[in-house]
Chain A
Amino acid sequence: MSDVAVLPENKITADVQAEPTVLLVGHPNVGKSVLFHGLTQKYVIASNYSGTTVAVTRGSMPYAGKQIVAVDTPGVHSLHAAQTSEDEKATRRMIISAKNPIVVQVAEAKNLHRSLLLTAELAELRIPMILVLNMMDEATQAGLTIDIPKLSKALSIPVLMTVATKRQGIDGIAEQLPFAAVPRMPQVFEKPAVSIICDNAIHQLVDQVLTRKKSPTADLKVRAGNLMMHPLWGVPFFCMAMYFMYQFVGVFGAGTLVNYLEKKVFGAYMVPALAKAFTAVVPLPFFHDLLFGEYGVISMGLTYSLAIVLPIVFTFFLAFALFEDSGYLPRLTILSNRLFKYLGLNGKAILPMVLGLGCATMATMTTRILQTKRERFIATLLLAVGVPCSAQLGVVLGITAAIGSWAVFTVLGIVLMQLCIVGFCANLIMPGKPSALVMEMAPIRLPKLLPILKKTWYRMRWFTREVVPLFLWATLGLFIFDKVGLLKLAERILMPVVQGVLGLPGAATPAFVMGFLRRDYGSAGFFRLFEQGQLTVLQTVVSLVVITLFIPCVAHFLMMIKEQGRLRAMGISVFVVTYAVFIGWLVRQVGMRLV
Chain B
Amino acid sequence: MPALDQIQNNTPVRVVSIEAEGDPSLVRQLMHMGLYPGARVRIHQRYPTYVLVADEGTVALEEDAVRRIRVQAIA
Contacts and interface: CB of A to CB of B under 8 A. Distances in A.
Contact of A27 (B17, B28, B32, B47): B32
B32 A118 contact: yes
Interface string A172-203: 00000000000000000100111111110011
B45 A196 contact: no
B48 A231 contact: yes
A334 interface: yes
Contact of A437 (B18, B33, B39, B49): B49
A437 B20 CA distance: 16
Nearest to A348: B60
Nearest to B28: A78
Contact of B56 (A113, A195, A436, A439): A113
Nearest to A439: B60
Interface in B51-75: 51, 55-62, 64-65, 70
B51 A192 contact: no
Interface in A435-459: 436-441, 443
B28 A80 contact: yes
Interface in A178-233: 189, 192-199, 202-203, 226, 229-231
A335 B48 contact: yes
A192 B55 CA distance: 23
A117 B58 contact: no
Contacts of B31: 78, 114, 117, 196, 199
A437 B61 contact: yes
B47 A231 contact: yes
A110 interface: yes
Describe B's contact surface by its main secondary structure: mixed
A347 B36 CA distance: 24
Given A77-B32, A111-B57, A440-B33, A338 B48 contact: yes
A333 interface: yes
A439 to B, nearest CB: 5
A445 to B, nearest CB: 13
B27 interface: yes
A441 B36 contact: no
A27 B36 CA distance: 15
A438 B17 CA distance: 17
Contacts of A78: 25, 28-29, 31-32
A540 to B, nearest CB: 37
A202 B32 CA distance: 13
A141 interface: no
A38 to B, nearest CB: 24
Contacts of B2: none
Given A195-B18, A437-B61, A441-B58, A113 B36 contact: yes
Contact of B17 (A193, A195, A334, A437): A195
A304 to B, nearest CB: 41
B7 interface: no
**Residue of B28, B30, B38, B55 contacting most chain A CB atoms (<10 Å):** B28
B26 interface: yes
B56 A110 contact: yes
Nearest to A116: B36
A196 B34 contact: no
Nearest to B17: A195
Nearest to B20: A195
B33 A196 contact: no
A354 to B, nearest CB: 17
Contacts of B65: 436, 438
Contacts of B30: 438
B59 A196 contact: no
A337 interface: yes
Contact of B29 (A193, A194, A195, A438): A438
Contacts of B27: 192, 195-196
Contacts of A192: 20, 24, 27-28
A117 B27 CA distance: 12
A28 to B, nearest CB: 9
A114 B34 CA distance: 6
Nearest to A226: B44
A437 B65 CA distance: 9
Contact of A195 (B19, B38, B60, B62): B19
Contacts of A440: 33-34, 57-60
A441 B38 contact: no
B51 A229 contact: yes
A536 interface: no
Given A82-B25, A84-B25, A439-B61, 4 more contacts: A83-B28, A337-B49, A337-B60, A436-B64
12 contacts: A78-B32, A117-B31, A192-B20, A193-B24, A198-B37, A199-B38, A231-B47, A338-B49, A436-B61, A436-B64, A437-B62, A438-B62
Leading 3 A-B pairs by shortest Cβ distance: A111-B56, A441-B58, A77-B32
Interface of A: 27, 77-78, 80, 82-84, 110-114, 117-118, 189, 192-199, 202-203, 226, 229-231, 330, 333-335, 337-338, 347, 436-441, 443
